Amino acid sequence: DVMPFWFGEPDAVTPAFIREAAKAALDAGDTFYHHNLGIAPLREALSAYLGRAHPPVESERIVVTSSGVNALMLAAQAILSPGDRVVAVVPLWPNLVEIPRILGAEVARVPLTLSPERRWRLDLDRLIDAIGTDARAVIVNSPNNPTGWTMPDDDMRALLAHCRRHGIWIVSDEAYERLVFDGSRQAPSMLDPASPDDRLIVANTFSKAWQMTGWRLGWLVVPPSLGADLGKLVEFNTSCAPGFVQQAAVVALRDGESVVRSFVDELGRRRDALLARLAAIEGVEAGIPDGAMYAFLRIAGAKDSLALAKSLVNHARIGLAPGVAFGPEGEGFLRWCFARPIPELLEAAARLERFLQRR
């Protein structure tokens, strides 16, 4: 009877029209290899989708990948070498800092801070100082997992200008781009101020907005100069994404906008309900997430987030992710995924309150 809020995924099954498209593709015999960079209909559909919200992105700049994390690994393989220095805005989903390390790069960390108003903030000057003139790349995840911090457009432009001057790559993980709660269609994107030839790689995924976590499909937007190399890297890693999954993604992009918007609206209601309930619990402080699907909260006096998370499983029967999993900056925090029905969120918050009262 443990209530699970540790996973970063929607609670609902992938919408039926997407599942039906995959079934139809399988029934039509789509069980063979495809082009390394993705099937043409999907790359064209992604180009059209991106063009509705950002400057035009030619389909030749789009690389279809076997998941968002595969996209991030491919990006790192394309631009990093052993000994390179990478700068990351943290706390951060651990894969994003471990991928460069696996490839032999060093990762410097620039932490977000929680303001008295419970908003997550980035010291842009500190980030630019850390990047300097010799970093190979900077990694930004906005909206951010685990905090929900969203990078303002002005900060993106300033970061891009600095990196342009010094030939530094930007890897922008925009997996949660559509999951924002200010009424806009999406969060600011590095695609907006950038030119096609900038040293910018944007990674995205079908997992979150279209509720397709188990389908393992993502994409990259890259400069034209990287396309050939990315094709080779896809070949060496996975060869291609499954055709029937790609066919389903075409339908998701074509017919799924209302589903995405409804999902985001519901996420916003769930966020608000959880934050209001947590605010009523003595000793709990939760940052206000601008996007994504997580509340990153701390409990007064808690120093060991892993021990606390284990204790909550054993004694309160609620599962939260320990903040230290997202780096040392997350120690003392817990990540709570609020992509669950409101009654479950409120019941779990009540369990947390009773647990803290017994401590």
Instruction: Report residue 334's pLDDT band, with 50, 70 and 90 as the boundaries.
Output: very high
Give the pLDDT of residue 100: 98
Give the DSSP per-residue string, 280-330.
Answer: TSTTEEE---SBTTEEEEEETT---HHHHHHHHHHHT-EE-EEGGGG-GGG
| Mean pLDDT rounded to a whole number for the chain | 97
> Which CATH code is given to the segment(s) 3-12+258-358?
3.90.1150.10
Does 3-12+258-358 match 16-254 in CATH topology?
Answer: no
What CATH number does the domain located at 16-254 have? 3.40.640.10
Per-residue pLDDT tens over the stretch 174-220: 999 999 999 999 999 999 999 999 999 999 999 999 999 999 999 99
Could you read off the pLDDT of 110-152 as tens digits, one per residue? 999 999 999 999 999 999 999 999 999 999 999 999 999 999 9
**Exposed/middle/buried for residue 25 (C-beta within 10 Å: 0-12, 13-18, 19+):** buried
Nearest partner of 67 among 217, 244, 174, 242, judged by Cα: 217
Band the pLDDT of 167: cuts 50, 70, 90. very high
As a dihedral over the C-alpha atoms of residue 177, residue 180, residue 182, residue 188, rounded to 10 degrees, the angle is -20
pLDDT at 104: 98
* Mean pLDDT value across residues 277-298: 97
Q: What is the predicted pLDDT for the residue at 31?
A: 97
Q: Which residues contact 211 (CB under 8 A, 6 or more apart)?
A: 10, 12, 13, 14, 15, 259, 263
Question: Which of the four pLDDT bands, split at 50, 70 and 90, describes residue 359?
Answer: confident
- Provide the token pair at 260: 């995405």
- In the predicted model, is pLDDT for residue 231 greater than 90? yes
Q: Where are the domains of the chain?
A: 3-12+258-358, 16-254
Section 32-40 average pLDDT? 98
Q: What is the pLDDT of residues 95-107, one digit of tens each?
A: 999 999 999 999 9
In the block, tokens 């499983």 appear at 313
* Span 45-62, average pLDDT: 97
Determine the Cα–Cα distance for residues 312 and 32; give it in Å rounded to an integer. Answer: 46
Q: What are the tens digits of pLDDT across the range 64-106?
A: 999 999 999 999 999 999 999 999 999 999 999 999 999 999 9
Mean pLDDT, residues 287-314: 97
Place of tokens 């969120």: 345
